[in-house]
Amino acid sequence: MATRRRRAPASTPAAPIAPTAPASAAPSPTPIPAVPDTDAVLTPTNSPAPLPVSVSQAKAAYFNRELSWLAFNRRVLEQAQNPRHPILERVKFLAIVSSNLDEFFEIRVAGLIQQVDNNVQESDGADVIGPREQLRRIHSVVASLVDDQYRCWQDQLIPALATEGITFALPASLTPGELAWVHTYFEEQVFPVLTPLSIDQSHPFPQLGNKTLNIVVSLDDPTTPELDRHFAILPVPRVLPRIVSIDSSESEKHQRRFIFLSDIIKLCAADFFPGYHIHGAHAFRVTRNSDLYIDEEEAANLLKKIEEELRNLRRGAAVRLEIEDGVDDQIFSTLCDHLSLSHEYVFRLDGPVNLVRVMALGDIDRPDLKYPNFLPVNLSPLREPGLIFDTLRERDILLHHPYDSFQPVVDFVEQAARDPQVLAIKQTLYRTSGDSPFVRALIEASRNGKQVTALVELKARFDEANNIQWARQLEEAGVHVVYGLVGHKTHCKVALVVRREAYGKLRRYAHLGTGNYNPRTARIYTDLSHFTSREALTSDAANLFNALTGFGRAPEFTHLLVAPYSLHRRVLELIRRETDHAQAGRPARILAKMNSLVDQEVIDALYGASRAGVQIDLIIRGVCCLVPGVPGLSENIRVRSIVGRFLEHIRAFYFHNDGGEPGIYAGSADWMPRNFFRRIEVVYPLLDPALRRWVMDELFAIELQDNECARLLTSGGAYLRPTRAPEVPVFSAQNYFLAAAAQRARAAEL
């Protein structure tokens, strides 16, 4: 896995971004320029040229989901390699690459290994690549990706940081003063915390936690040189900072010098083994299977069962070993044997283990090395909390986060908790922040005597422990806590308020979103928040909560598209309606923005629409299993991915419907089997004419103009920068929305 591989070509640096005025309408679709595809990251399972015209026969016309995800992580790495980003932001992108890979191995690779262990031969995806072949391709791609990631760190980021006075010391480069400071730091802060664990016949191999830092030490006793070499492991607790700022008398003003904790421990490892000779010390890290396995129908108490599983996760089967390059073969084999891990799952790293930790450099107080500070604009009609319900009786409101402040979403629930006319609040909680204002508001509402119901998703991956904590706090305050439907994650983002109004009439108000109820991530995720008091939507929202908290095998929804009940069927119907229009010679158009496109039936329906002449533009940040631009199959489909400062998280959809009302929707669901069939999802129509125009004339139109952060997916699987004529300026959609928000803020101050 450590073999150097040919890298994908680097992106061409672009000129400074110059925001332009928004387009008045969605631009006409233009074909993706033909670009030689000589270094594709993905490939269809067969050559795309001879694909049959019949969609039912085109079983090879799908990209593999796992390889497509790795291609997305490659696009994240491109941001770290891009010198146009501020240096500390580039470091952050590099850390995100590692964080993404951690989750990928914990869940996706772990699942494939289990399939191989269970002798599963066939793929469970639209492609025909079996799990064993998927693992082979994954490891080849990951090896290249990791190799490029560490080359970026060593050859690009470290030198760029050094020019700004931020340097990293290796043990051999420490000055005498720095060396003295490091030894003192070790003796005072590290030595008392660490416990050496020897490995021999009387000491079994220790249980190493998932993704924890460890130092393996090779040593021998000088008095018995004829005996085999000894090994010991130093597990490093998470309480110790992984990057240490050197504070010696030699430190220069305005200079920051750091050293990795692993280097400090290796330098001072002999202190743990007096009388022994140290041959070598190397940092390593084990990634384990972290997927929860819970049979909800067999679990009498879901909350307790998940708590038990969380305790077991740290002991899950090893799926990856990362270790510093240069480790000798004996240590390497010993670790692999004890972890029952094949050598193909081992990555020898040319640099520090776990680059996630370089995210801590973002705490350095150097605003000149970060993106310009941006404060979300709170200029919506909902900015006066006391007038929220009065405003929503008159009109619908749509906010575009993070450009529009998330505060009105918080105010909506907090105001409902305090308003004496509010009788009931119902809300879903999938992921929320550590100090959640929503949880506090629901607790306050319950103590104020309101009927409060919270649907807390205990199985929100990697947030299980937080959600258990929130569930208990809410229950203790008298909130009715429900965990949703058996076998389905409650992923939708819905809050419903029931209020008594004039003459005793009850009126419902709803917030429907594409993102989580999390003020922290709302500053870095692009999402939509829709507020409404329309009976057509709020009555459907009420039916949804009734189905989730009570019994309802087939609840009916008039306007909301709800998974697992109607969403998949309606999406197919909307695509086929456009297909029918195109076949009849009428204009037909589909625009869709989402995180992932995986579902085979939907992909096949899009292929059919393309063959009929429907013009289709897909903005898909991450996984895309559809192959665009194939003659006779998908030549009318264009796919782009936007990766930039903010995480593109919006799911929005447009269906032209010539001669009728266009269908414009937003919601929580990607087009994946899990979203259609194994989650509770809500996709809602935008019914207000002004909001519908904004989605078309701003959201879609602007993002389709992006030629800076966007990459176009080719039929061969490569993601390439859009070509542009010399007279066309470089344009970033995210920068446009940032500039537009800043302009609104300035105008409001005048």
Q: What is the pLDDT, as a whole number, of residue 30?
A: 35
In the predicted structure, residue 521 carries a pLDDT above the cut 60: yes
**Confidence check: pLDDT of 316 > 90:** no
Residue 548: inside a domain: yes
Q: Are residues 324 and 202 in the same domain?
A: yes
> Among 620, 554, 605, 612, which Cα is nearest to 588's?
612
Residue 200: inside a domain, yes or no?
A: yes
Query: Do 354 and 257 belong to one domain?
Result: yes
pLDDT of res. 329: 85
Q: Percent of the chain at pLDDT above 70? A: 84
How far CA 334 is from CA of 269, 353, 657, in Å, comes to 20, 19, 64
pLDDT digits (tens, 9 = 90+) for 365-414: 999 999 999 999 999 999 998 999 999 999 999 999 999 999 999 999 99
Residue 16 belongs to a domain = no
Catalytic-role residue among 139, 400, 401, 491: 491
pLDDT recorded at residue 456: 82
Tell me if 155 is assigned to some domain.
no
Q: What is the CATH number of the domain that holds 74?
A: 1.20.58.310
Q: Which residues, listed in sequence order, are joined to residue 671 by a DSSP beta bridge?
A: 597
Residues 320 and 445 in one domain: no
Residue 122: pLDDT band with limits 50, 70, 90: confident
Do residue 325 and residue 459 come from a single domain? no
Q: Final residue of a domain: which of 327, 342, 369?
A: 369
Q: Examine the domain organization and report whether 185 and 144 are in the same domain.
A: no
Is 624 a member of any domain?
yes
Least confident of 252-261, 301-310, 431-440: 301-310
Same-domain check for residues 581 and 703? yes
In a domain, 103, yes or no: yes
Question: Tell me, what DSSP letter sits at residue 426?
Answer: E
DSSP β-ladder status, 652-655 and 647-648: unpaired
The verdict on 539 and 598 lying in the same domain is: no
Q: How distant, in Å, are the alpha carbons of 165, 273, 637, 716 from that of 36?
A: 41, 59, 19, 10
Domain membership of residue 411 (yes or no) is: yes
Burial status of residue 6 (CB atoms within 10 A of its CB: 0-12, 13-18, 19 or more)? exposed
Confidence of residue 14 (pLDDT cuts 50, 70, 90): very low
pLDDT in tens, 612-627: 999 999 999 999 999 9
Same domain, 553 and 583: no
Q: Which CATH number is 287's domain given? A: 3.30.1840.10
On the question of pLDDT at 308 being above 70, the answer is no
pLDDT, one tens digit per residue, over 713-729 is: 999 999 999 998 899 99
Which region, left, alpha or beta, applies to residue 484 given φ > 0 means left and ψ of -120 to 50 means alpha? left
On whether residue 29 sits in a domain, the answer given is no
- What's the confidence (pLDDT) of residue 734? 97
| 134-138, 180-184, 238-242, 293-297: range with lowest mean pLDDT | 293-297
- What the block records as the tokens of 296 is 């909800």
SS3 sequence, 252-271? CCCCEEEEEHHHHHHHCHHH
Is residue 179 predicted with pLDDT exceeding 90?
A: yes
339 and 411 together in one domain? no
511 annotated active-site: no
Give residue 677's pLDDT: 94
- The CA distance from 733 to 644, in Å, is 9
pLDDT at position 632 is 93
Render pLDDT for 527-575 as a digit per residue (tens, 0 to 9).
999 999 999 999 999 999 998 887 666 788 999 999 999 999 999 999 9
Of 502, 532, 559, the domain-final residue: 559
Does residue 685 contact residue 665 with C-beta atoms inside 8 Å? yes
Look at 163 and 35; give whichever has higher pLDDT: 163
Q: Which domain holds residue 686?
A: 562-749
Which residues, other chains included, contact 21 with Cβ-Cβ below 8 Å and sequence gap of 6+?
none
The least confident of 300-304, 488-492, 569-573 is: 300-304
* In a shared domain, residues 118 and 169: no
In this structure, the answer to whether residues 533 and 572 fall within a common structural domain is no
- 93-116 average pLDDT score: 93
Q: Which tokens belong to 508?
A: 């419902």
Count up the domains in the chain and report the number.
4
Choose one of 334, 369, 404: the last residue of a domain.
Answer: 369
Range scoring the smallest mean pLDDT among 10-14, 137-141, 152-156, 597-601: 10-14
The C-alpha atoms of residue 708 and residue 721 are separated, in whole angstroms, by 7
Residue 347 token pair = 């990555």
CATH classification at residue 415: 3.30.870.10
Per the prediction, the chain carries an average pLDDT of 86
- Res 251: pLDDT: 55
Residue 221 has what pLDDT?
81
Report residue 188's pLDDT band, with 50, 70 and 90 as the boundaries. Answer: very high
Co-location of 580 and 708 in the same domain: yes
Which is nearest to 560 in space by CA: 490, 496, 512? 512
Residue 718 contacts by C-beta under 8 Å, 6 or more apart in sequence?
Answer: 8, 35, 37, 39, 40, 41, 42
